A and B are shown apart, each in its own frame.
Chain A
């Protein structure tokens, strides 16, 4: 057992309101620079949709991630042989138009235009060339556009559905969507690290954050291809690649990353998980259907004395072990089994987990007769001649799960490499917590039904309350359990602390003891 600690994340999708505050917080701090305008280390996509960059999930186009070979895994579009033979021209590199051409407006024209018959306008100009341009795309161009032919219907995950299921999903009355905020997953088996010919990308041992050393990066751009999540970006002005740094300077000072700190929906959780690094390769090359189970399996129980012993032997600080025991992410991912990794089939072992959204899934559409209702309304009342209704009732407990608006297969294509049972398990639990809470607070669900729901979802009332608490009431310190960074120890690796011993804090050694001559 080779115990390491990893700062991991959980995003609770039911709570995301798609406000993009997270993206703006990140942009303002890190990527508001020349060459980085188009980068959104944190972005929020509407699903179903094509995302950013367009169709990033389709690895037939982008060749990202790992694929299983006979006895292990190999990078799909990079690696030693492919990377070095394609060093002059990387055929699998996305170009800026796959993201969007960054733009601004000529605001000064509004003020400085000479007097005339027309209102002056601020024309859009390219932030690359400075020339006027037509805006064709932006970072969230398909925001809220579920059902549109150009975006939602080109979602690569729809391939998991039959044509009939797809059509059913996009019937206007059934149409649903949810938001998918994405940052770098700080993977355990990072494809970006493995693909870098210069060796500029590395995983930090202490907290597992994946970083690109800007001085060592020579701009070979292989990581851009290799990261299946397209979370490594090429800065066209500096000629270096950049990626999310999980706000490590903030983390080291005990603050949550900016995107998480600012999250309006409070959907984000961050905490330490201990894992067994010896198993990385084996887990990454497991059969597709076992990927999720095996990844959860390599996450260790921070209360297990054996794990604690092995962690200490590996130099993991007591404070970190303590943080792991209080970690909200450990609870969501491992203890309650509520969260799933995004696209585990890319085999990078991502350490950002998602609680799949219940709301758009659970409602179903029922025909109703609105005519009668309309007759009762005042004549000036606005009336839509609809004859359907969103039905969110839970009479036949799990019945709605199978005829949901957002097909389980779609969710499974996103979060469990196609295994609908995994997603169903999570949704059942989320549902059971609601039934239980409704029983306790509103009381219109009887105890027996609430009990049955909990039992079938493999929960107890106590666990359900815990989940409810961390989901709905959690305060800042519950959502972010940040381990001390112990830079005071790390400094001893940078400077030989013995040099200044006895220097009485003044930077010279001779003084205090030998004064007198």
Chain B
């Protein structure tokens, strides 16, 4: 194997597994050991107005992009069938691109806000800068790829989906990936790097999105002891742990 081959094998076979492994173990470790810190440190309380113009397009853009990539990964045939019609292809691609650009600009704006507002600087950690720059590079390359190598939604479904599935099924097949232009390779490696960084940065908060709120009753009362059973001689004690301790 040549050095280039070796390097490629590392980037597209070993590295994804390392990233996935670190993500899994790191997340479990962080949740168990420093559960208190599993959230994103909101700075809206220190500065709220400018934040709105960055944070909302950023989150919405990122969600659209994420689910866009995810659907091409989960339903490649459907994506290709949809793209068979040029008009539909253009609608899909331009929607994605608009959200990508808005994500890019809102990221730049958020970074600017973080750097210029002394209050926000006071609550910023090095990791916040790291992850923001990483995302910036990632979205930037995503936009570049979208313009320079059309049409991404189609070749993603045709080339990358099989590659990602091969990784997931532990039978890595990298022939298609090796042949890709370097910009796309950077974007792929960037994606794995972000995955790897999740447990070490504020990105972790997406894992605790409070969707269970929808299903719970509004009011919550918790008891230290079984209030009905306490006077019953047959239940001198109970082995059930209460939820709040």
Q: Which residues of A contact B (CB under 8 A)?
A: 79-80, 83-84, 87-91, 93-96, 128-131, 189-190, 193-194, 196-199, 201-206, 213-215, 217-221, 224, 234, 236-240, 280, 312-316, 486-487, 489-490, 492-494, 496-498
Question: Which B-chain residue is minimally distant from A207 (CB atoms)?
Answer: B224
A interface footprint on B106-146 (CB within 8 Å = 1, 0 otherwise): 00000000000011011100000000000000000000000
Question: Which A-chain residue is minimally distant from B121 (CB atoms)?
Answer: A129
Q: In the complex, how many angstroms separate the beta carbon of A359 from the nearest chain B beta carbon?
A: 38
Q: Is the interface of B mostly helix, strand, loop or mixed?
A: loop
A interface footprint on B38-82 (CB within 8 Å = 1, 0 otherwise): 111111111110011001100110000000000000000000000
A193 CB contact (under 8 Å) in B46, B211, B219, B237: B219
Question: Which A-chain residue is minimally distant from B52 (CB atoms)?
Answer: A89
Contact B224 A204 (CB under 8 A): yes
Question: Which A-chain residue is minimally distant from B211 (CB atoms)?
Answer: A84
A89 CB contact (under 8 Å) in B55, B208, B213, B221: B55
Q: How far is the CA of A237 from the CA of B228 in the complex (A)?
A: 41
A129 CB contact (under 8 Å) in B56, B122, B212, B225: B122
Given A128-B119, A493-B238, A493-B242; A206-B44 close (CB under 8 Å): no
Contact A88 B210 (CB under 8 A): no
Question: Which A-chain residue is minimally distant from B230 (CB atoms)?
Answer: A315
Given A213-B244, A239-B39, A492-B237; A220-B122 close (CB under 8 Å): no
Given A239-B41, A315-B225, A492-B237; A130-B219 close (CB under 8 Å): no
Contacts of B222 in A (CB 8 A): 202-205
20 extra A-B contacts, CB within 8 A, seeds A224-B45, A315-B229, A490-B224? A84-B210, A91-B52, A93-B48, A95-B47, A129-B118, A193-B220, A198-B210, A199-B216, A204-B223, A204-B224, A206-B225, A220-B42, A239-B40, A312-B231, A316-B227, A493-B225, A493-B241, A493-B242, A493-B245, A494-B242
Contacts of A194 in B (CB 8 A): 218-219
Contacts of B205 in A (CB 8 A): 218
Contact B59 A88 (CB under 8 A): yes
Contact B230 A494 (CB under 8 A): no
Question: Which A-chain residue is minimally distant from B209 (CB atoms)?
Answer: A87
Contacts of B119 in A (CB 8 A): 96, 128-129
Q: How far is the CA of A89 from the CA of B223 in the complex (A)?
A: 33
Contacts of B51 in A (CB 8 A): 89
Contact A93 B212 (CB under 8 A): no
Contacts of B210 in A (CB 8 A): 84, 87, 197-199, 218, 220
B237 CB contact (under 8 Å) in A93, A197, A224, A496: A496
Q: In the complex, how many angstroms separate the beta carbon of A75 from the nearest chain B beta carbon?
A: 8
Question: Which A-chain residue is minimally distant from B242 (CB atoms)?
Answer: A493
Contact B55 A88 (CB under 8 A): yes
Q: How far is the CA of A96 from the CA of B230 in the complex (A)?
A: 46
Contacts of A96 in B (CB 8 A): 45-46, 119
A497 CB contact (under 8 Å) in B47, B223, B237: B237
Contact A84 B226 (CB under 8 A): no
Q: Can you show 19 pairs from A to B with CB atoms below 8 A apart?
A: A87-B209, A88-B60, A96-B46, A129-B122, A197-B210, A202-B244, A205-B223, A206-B225, A214-B36, A219-B42, A224-B45, A239-B39, A280-B219, A315-B231, A492-B236, A493-B225, A493-B237, A493-B240, A496-B237
Q: How far is the CA of A481 from the CA of B213 in the complex (A)?
A: 37
Contacts of B60 in A (CB 8 A): 88
Given A199-B213, A493-B238, A496-B237; A315-B228 close (CB under 8 Å): yes
Contacts of A239 in B (CB 8 A): 39-42
Contact A198 B123 (CB under 8 A): no
Contacts of B39 in A (CB 8 A): 217-219, 239-240
Contacts of A487 in B (CB 8 A): 224
The answer to the question of B6 belonging to the interface, with a C-beta cut-off of 8 Å to chain A, is no
Contact A199 B220 (CB under 8 A): yes
Contact A493 B118 (CB under 8 A): no
Q: What are the 8 closest A-B residue pairs judged by CB atoms, nearest first?
A: A315-B227, A197-B210, A205-B223, A194-B218, A490-B224, A239-B41, A218-B39, A492-B237
The answer to the question of B35 belonging to the interface, with a C-beta cut-off of 8 Å to chain A, is yes
Question: Which B-chain residue is minimally distant from A81 (CB atoms)?
Answer: B214
Given A489-B230, A493-B226, A494-B241; A236-B43 close (CB under 8 Å): yes
Most buried by A among B35, B47, B48, B226: B48
Contacts of B38 in A (CB 8 A): 218
Q: How far is the CA of A295 from the CA of B55 in the complex (A)?
A: 42
Contact B214 A84 (CB under 8 A): yes
Contact A80 B226 (CB under 8 A): no
Contacts of A219 in B (CB 8 A): 39-42
Q: In the complex, how many angstroms separate the beta carbon of A272 from the nearest chain B beta carbon?
A: 15
Most buried by B among A202, A234, A240, A498: A202
A234 CB contact (under 8 Å) in B45, B55, B59, B239: B45
B214 CB contact (under 8 Å) in A80, A129, A189, A494: A80
Contact A221 B44 (CB under 8 A): yes
Q: How far is the CA of A236 from the CA of B46 in the complex (A)?
A: 7
A95 CB contact (under 8 Å) in B46, B224, B240: B46
Contacts of A196 in B (CB 8 A): 213
B213 CB contact (under 8 Å) in A198, A204, A280: A198
Contact B219 A189 (CB under 8 A): yes
Q: How far is the CA of A194 from the CA of B221 in the complex (A)?
A: 11
Q: In the complex, how many angstroms separate the beta carbon of B244 from the nearest chain A beta carbon?
A: 6
Question: Which B-chain residue is minimally distant from A191 (CB atoms)?
Answer: B218
Question: Which A-chain residue is minimally distant from B53 (CB atoms)?
Answer: A89
Contacts of A131 in B (CB 8 A): 118
Q: In the complex, how many angstroms separate the beta carbon of A4 from the nearest chain B beta carbon?
A: 8
Question: Which B-chain residue is minimally distant from A88 (CB atoms)?
Answer: B59
Q: How far is the CA of A94 from the CA of B222 in the complex (A)?
A: 29
Contacts of A494 in B (CB 8 A): 241-242, 245
Q: In the complex, how many angstroms separate the beta carbon of B51 from the nearest chain A beta carbon?
A: 6
A interface footprint on B182-223 (CB within 8 Å = 1, 0 otherwise): 000000000000000000000001001111111010111111
Most buried by A among B43, B121, B122, B218: B218
B46 CB contact (under 8 Å) in A79, A89, A128: A128
Q: How far is the CA of A496 from the CA of B235 in the complex (A)?
A: 12
Q: How far is the CA of A314 from the CA of B122 in the complex (A)?
A: 50
Q: How far is the CA of A317 from the CA of B52 in the complex (A)?
A: 51
Contacts of B231 in A (CB 8 A): 312, 315
Contacts of B42 in A (CB 8 A): 219-221, 234, 239
